[in-house]
Structure 1
């Protein structure tokens, strides 16, 4: 038998060994004691322990038993574990259960162990065991039977493990497997209804499941029981994932902590956009909340450069990046947000990790690949991946709530608008000046608690590392990369001129390159300053001046004009929707819903029948419009007062309904008899037989005549 395999009960009394009927051992306690004397078990060090229970005696360690007896014990214990796994508790399980108890239960176990230690101390000092138990029970205010029960709990247990075995076990409330199985269809339907991204409440899902169970005759547990079962069967993380998606699941785990102490100043930067909660009035009269794009040093958290505009765009990103490189140098790495303004082709075209926009073979290489900057993209919709979000929180709290912005602050949530919301808009120039002061104060504020700042300001942290860090400075040729936008173009096939954004650029050397595909780099803020021409392979070809200044003064101005025109169009559409809020489909649906069927006329048993009000008829597509107009005119004429009697040759419509009904019958008789009938008579008859008046009279007369009228 292997040495690392042992039964859970290490200490055995003579009575227990006899009752176990182990092979090679006597079947009585006296025989076991005699066997122990013959085998000299007491001579083995550490294998004998005095029995603390009533009557005294000795405990023998299981390792003293013969080999076959030990093997039998292990076999019996394995069978017992399979039959009753809940009743078996080894040393490890006992301590695991003890650690899971509350402090109150642990204190109870310690008090029980103290009682047993006192019993053993009194017994070893010469007192009888029964007297010792009664004395301790009286001291604790318990019955002696309770103390004997505690002694039975630790019988055969090593002294160092008695605390775990004496701990009170909480009652186990479990539902039998066969009892819960009958609720399986209901629970499956309930979990499917509850674990949805719409995040319904459990009560709502339970009501829906109960309705389905009532229809399909399923047994249903109480709502609280069902909630307890669902929580026990479905882990919390699974519930969060099914109800809140992947973003909710990420909140169940701690964010990754990145060590920035291994970086240096300007080694890595990160950038993002943020909408500031202040109404700003721009020079063109537009009032909105401006967007800021900022580049932040990852080592020190200092904001190195920034730009402000109406909306995020590549022009402001390029300008902020140019200021960063101009003032501080070229970083080695850039952590960008996954927005289109950062993934624009001016900045990132040619990067292998870029997954925005369509990739073309003639796309010019972006500024960052040209400068050898490695790009990293933050996880979308995950603010923890962008450290600059912490700086934006400071700007939202400090700069946006500056006293000079009183009345222009809009609140950081729709339900957090101040009482003076919309009462004022700050001028753009004043806003930029105050924002600049706020960012400078943000960088210079002492007492920062980041691992790299360690109580200093961001400025001090950056300056200390910047003084010793290897900084790459840009050359004049590289400077054109970030100060210029870029666009692929083709020179005129005859004169080599370049037309870009409505302007025409030309220089003498361009005539030699007529028809060539090139890359034009330009200043987005001043299109009239000229363009720099590059070959598709990246070689610089030369500079071209603006010859015809017919375009917008700057690229962003053109975009602003187009954006304003789009806003006007959207405003007009909304205004039109206010005047006509319902679509034609809605109108038709309302009309169909309100339409009532014409009640059928009862079999008349009255002297004077009452006819329903005529309903308007929908003309079929094959009806002649002129005939319909003539018919309506005749109907109006029929409702008018009777005129004077006409001459015999002139056709006259009868005055009463019965007379008009008889008049139709007379015209039909003439037609059947071959007598001459005027066109006016025939036309009137054909229109009147479809009129509700004639149809109603025809139904009444048929009911009285047995179906022979008409």
Structure 2
């Protein structure tokens, strides 16, 4: 590196004057003629940097953007200038264009990269342009335009910078340029078309043409209106105005939940399914029955079911009993907030039941006592409609689900109704299948549904069936089995009754026949007079006995049915008298046993009454009579005589009035 006196002046301790700096350089180069030479094109002399002091050398190298490492001088990296463009904007335009425009940008990028590579190898720019034009067959003006587009742009951002604007401009023109329409006509068309009745666009256009003639509106074609509607009214607004808020809610992406942290039987969910089959029920009535299914959330296996005429508490209770008896007690339950499930006998005690009136003295429901009130979960009701996405069992009712495995079985041929009135089969209503045969078809369909292999979900992973996934987890899962008493509670229905003053209860579940109801009695209930107890019973054995529990589920006793007897039945009267005498004697002895001290002994232990001590009066008032002499006494005597005469007169007047009234009413 060679420097002149002008370049060294004032740098690194050198004199600031140019002449003095030259003299200093000549002195340093004396005796070294090869360290100085004349600079080409000028009259000045230049000196090799090695003759300068290290301090001056470092200052000069730093000034020129270089640094000396050992015997080698290298250039320092130049600080990059701040970007004068927006990378986000460039790449945003890349995502808005079509594939054809992107292919053109890739072709232009290859040409620009070829030009830059030739320049870095020392080839003149014009020669590089000509070489690339000949190689790729593009005009010189086009290539120079491509190179100009990427000036001052990082190479990583060249691709979006080389995009042509034709497609983007066309899209903007398409949005901004529609056929002319009178604003009033446009508002009329939107008000007619965007309604919940969902009229067709063609009919709305016919009405628009008729009104436009009367008002002198300018309207375009139907296709132009359709394009304008799609461009100006978002799809969300169209769905909201034509299909309603619930349809708009359904557009939002559903939430996906993972069940891998669960195990078999930890969480179950249930729902009712209306079969599309005509069934001759046990009472001879032809109906479409409804089955309540319980399914495991982890594996999706159907664990239990009960079929009935409708979705009711008994079918839910008995199917729940089947699940508990066969597999065990689940930890969590998810059900709909229906009248059959969200009643006090099944889920009583859950504070957020939202069905019926929740009272503080409601008995705890069966599910509440078995899994706990905090482990019962309700599916949400959104905008007046159920939220089926919250229950995995809903997917078993969809396409390829239980309808295929149960309703469309060969045994149900001729009884299948179709999923809706518009999809009735040709043999609709040919026959009705017997109830026993239909129940067998349900059992067979559920078995096939659980055993179907290659289920594609999170747990089955495309090769296991629901049953295999359930069994694999069930073997190592902590399962809580039900006791005999818990199963007995599920087998029996329940009713809350108030205990009468005689220690009896009356059930309303059996109805009333000729004004008669069943009464039940046990001496234990005498301790709960005028309180509510829960009677659990078998509906077909109402004339035998019922099991009595407290409202919070504590077992008390078994109450026997008390039947009415004939009015003249002396034998029944003697039996009743004997039982009443036994009851009285037993309770009298028990009552006497409660008192170890008689009333006389209690009275003897009472203390004697103490004589009252009257305190002495400190202030004494002198007595002064109101009057003195016979006048006062005479006055008092006169007042007493007048009072007695008045009473006598009033009495005689009352008797006379009574006699007159009796004579008046005589015929």
TM-score, L = length of structure 1: 0.60
**Relative to structure 1, is the Cα distance of residues 123 and 178 closer, same or farther in structure 2, using a 3 angstrom cutoff?**
closer
1:388 aligns with 2:393: yes
Deviations 1:276-295 (A, max 9, x none): 12211112211121111011
- The equivalences for 1:365-444 within 5 A come to 365-373=364-372, 374-380=375-381, 381-393=386-398, 394-444=401-451
CA distance in 2, matches of 1:440, 1:518: 41
- The equivalences for 1:449-488 within 5 A come to 449-454=456-461, 455-488=463-496
- The equivalences for 1:146-545 within 5 A come to 146-169=142-165, 170=167, 171-172=169-170, 173-174=172-173, 186-208=185-207, 220=219, 222-373=221-372, 374-380=375-381, 381-393=386-398, 394-454=401-461, 455-494=463-502, 496-500=504-508, 501=510, 502=512, 503-509=517-523, 512=526, 515-536=530-551, 538-545=553-560
Determine the structure 2 residue equivalent to 1:145. 141
CA distance in 1, matches of 2:405, 2:80: 75
Please state how far the C-alpha of 1:464 moved relative to its aligned partner: 2.9
1:113 aligns with 2:109: yes
CA distance in 2, matches of 1:176, 1:474: 68
| Contact 1:496/1:510 (8 A) holds in 2 | no
**Relative to structure 1, is the Cα distance of residues 510 and 215 closer, same or farther in structure 2, using a 3 angstrom cutoff?**
farther
CA distance in 1, matches of 2:280, 2:357: 36
CA distance in 2, matches of 1:430, 1:179: 66
SS of corresponding position for 1:489? strand
Q: Structure 2, unaligned stretches of length 5 or more?
A: 1-59, 67-77, 566-667
- The equivalences for 1:75-114 within 5 A come to 90-114=86-110
**Relative to structure 1, is the Cα distance of residues 392 and 122 closer, same or farther in structure 2, using a 3 angstrom cutoff?**
closer
Please state how far the C-alpha of 1:476 moved relative to its aligned partner: 3.6
CA distance in 1, matches of 2:525, 2:124: 122
Determine the structure 1 residue equivalent to 2:615. none
CA distance in 1, matches of 2:202, 2:224: 12
**Relative to structure 1, is the Cα distance of residues 485 and 217 closer, same or farther in structure 2, using a 3 angstrom cutoff?**
farther
Please state how far the C-alpha of 1:129 moved relative to its aligned partner: 4.5
Number of residue pairs the alignment of both structures matches: 476
CA distance in 2, matches of 1:178, 1:109: 27
| Contact 1:505/1:531 (8 A) holds in 2 | no
CA distance in 1, matches of 2:265, 2:546: 30
Deviations 1:359-400 (A, max 9, x none): 344432211222243111123433222111223342211222
SS of corresponding position for 2:333? strand
CA distance in 2, matches of 1:549, 1:314: 31
SS of corresponding position for 2:363? coil
CA distance in 2, matches of 1:509, 1:237: 68
CA distance in 1, matches of 2:96, 2:258: 35
**Relative to structure 1, is the Cα distance of residues 135 and 347 closer, same or farther in structure 2, using a 3 angstrom cutoff?**
same
Please state how far the C-alpha of 1:349 moved relative to its aligned partner: 1.7
Root-mean-square deviation over aligned CA pairs: 3.6
TM-score, L = length of structure 2: 0.63
Q: Structure 1, unaligned stretches of length 5 or more?
A: 1-38, 46-60, 65-69, 78-88, 551-710
SS of corresponding position for 1:464? helix
**Relative to structure 1, is the Cα distance of residues 237 and 518 closer, same or farther in structure 2, using a 3 angstrom cutoff?**
same
* Structure showing greater Rg: 2
